Homo-oligomer: A and B are copies of this chain.
Amino acid sequence: MTNTPSIIHAKWVITDTTHILKHHALVIQSGLIEAILPSGLAKERYPTVTHTTYASHALLPGFINCHTHLTMNIFRGLADDLELMDWLNNYIWPAENKWLGEELVYDASLLAIAEAIRSGTTCMNDMYFFMNATARAVTETGIRAHIGLHLIDVPTAWAQTMDEAFEKAILFYEEYKNHERITPTMAVHSTYTVSLPQLIKAKKIADDYKLKINIHLQESPQEIAHVQALHQERPLMRLHKIGMVNPDLIAIHMTQINEDDLKILTATKPNIVHCPESNMKLASGIAPISTLMQHGLNVALGTDGAASNNDLDMITEMRSAAFLSKISTQNPQALSAETALNMATINAAKALGVDHKIGSLAIGKAADFIAIDLERIETEPLYHPISQIVYAASRDQVTDVWVAGKQLLKNRQLTTIDEKALLAKVKTWRKRIQNTV
């Protein structure tokens, strides 16, 4: 099938952080980038098709949010500024116990996807229960997602036993293994909620199906103490012993890293997902990102769930990553704007094993890109586009978003989500949930 290409011009085209092209155009054909040309040349070469110009904008690869729990958007702001166990025991778990199900997960995923698109995210790496409901929301809205086969040894409305969880995981894999925009991953909750035999079983499935494995790992000092009390070893070592720490692992959080951990990480090269805002808000700890990068590790960026952030905004997440790295290393040169943007794009694509498809703008890659209007009061004078995007822009400057060539946000309007109907549903959920906690 050949369609008419669409040609999108912009003042700047940031194909990756080392290439900022001025007055260029993307030629999009069948969901892919067919060419990247100077605007003049594009107009000459495609005289008969429609050209669209973003005169004051930068086009750049869409953000890839490398750690989400989309459903948690429905609990955003339910309770803040609390001790973790108080928050979970008295707010999140009672609400989940009462309401967890297809309807909640679908509606909440839709809310999260709406927010993600409106802040320039084109792909998420999600883990939560009822992933089929999230997958439905992803399919309908046109966004891209990696969705975890969610394994946690706690009985829920999703799965009463681990056997049931494994069974549903495999069914989900079979249903979505060839989906155009959904990629199944393995998503093991943690080393304190999944036993060693179950971890080994999960690894076997991941190896057989060639899936990346996500896991919350060494998020806080409390986790380390808890796992050491349970198993007399640190979580990372526990995974290392069964061969799970390798480039197919996506280790989320990793705020607690000692010398031994660093040796294991350096030797085995798993991917790290840094979630600075969640780590700050929950007071979990500070991942030593600069050190990890200096040791050659790939570090991507994620927001975590909106209930501990409280947003899915990758622009503020990049900014927070840079700020936290600078203050914690006492070095203003640590984690530049360019590095932050890499973490939110190409590094995330590498972590997910899809950097041949997304994460930068290049010929043959998917047309997953966004337009950010930079000629605004808030981002002028414009000396350097990447500095303005990371350090000064806000999400409302993301005016347009495309995934696989399809426009999902057009001049700030969602094209695949009925915003009014969604907000009405969310209001109903608020009343239900408020009556539960």
Contact = CB atoms under 8 A, between A and B. Distances in A.
A333 B83 contact: yes
Contact of A387 (B77, B87, B283, B327): B77
Nearest to A81: B336
Given A77-B392, A83-B332, A423 B380 contact: yes
A396 B329 CA distance: 32
Nearest to A433: B381
A91 to B, nearest CB: 10
A77 B423 contact: no
Contact of A80 (B80, B387, B427): B387
A332 B279 CA distance: 10
Contacts of A433: 381, 383
A70 interface: no
A81 B318 CA distance: 14
Interface stretch (A59-67, A188-196, A267-275, A309-317): A309-317
Interface in A291-309: 306, 309
A281 B326 contact: yes
B280 A76 contact: no
Interface string A348-378: 0000000000000000000000000001011
A430 interface: yes
B377 A419 contact: yes
Interface residues of A, number: 71
A394 B313 contact: yes
Contacts of A427: 380-381
Interface string A76-100: 1111111110010000000000000
B326 A388 contact: no
Contacts of A114: 377
Contacts of A79: 383
B280 A326 contact: yes
B283 A77 contact: no
Given A277-B323, A323-B320, A327-B280, A332 B391 contact: no
B377 A111 contact: yes
A375 B423 CA distance: 8
* Copies, count: 2
Given A277-B323, A375-B423, A380-B426, A388 B333 contact: no
A423 to B, nearest CB: 6
A4 interface: no
B391 A80 contact: yes
A108 B427 CA distance: 43
A52 interface: no
A172 interface: no
A95 to B, nearest CB: 11
Nearest to A326: B283
A16 B200 CA distance: 54
A330 to B, nearest CB: 5
A337 B377 contact: no
A13 interface: no
A77 B331 contact: no
Interface string A276-292: 01011111011000000
A399 to B, nearest CB: 12
A41 interface: no
Contacts of A419: 377
A157 B283 CA distance: 47
Given A77-B391, A77-B392, A316-B316, A115 B332 contact: no
Contacts of A327: 279-280, 283, 285-286, 324
A377 B422 contact: yes
A334 interface: yes
A283 B375 contact: no
A81 B281 CA distance: 24
A394 to B, nearest CB: 5
Given A80-B384, A381-B426, 6 more contacts: A80-B337, A81-B322, A283-B334, A285-B330, A310-B387, A381-B429
9 contacts: A82-B332, A283-B331, A310-B387, A311-B391, A316-B319, A375-B423, A381-B429, A383-B434, A394-B394
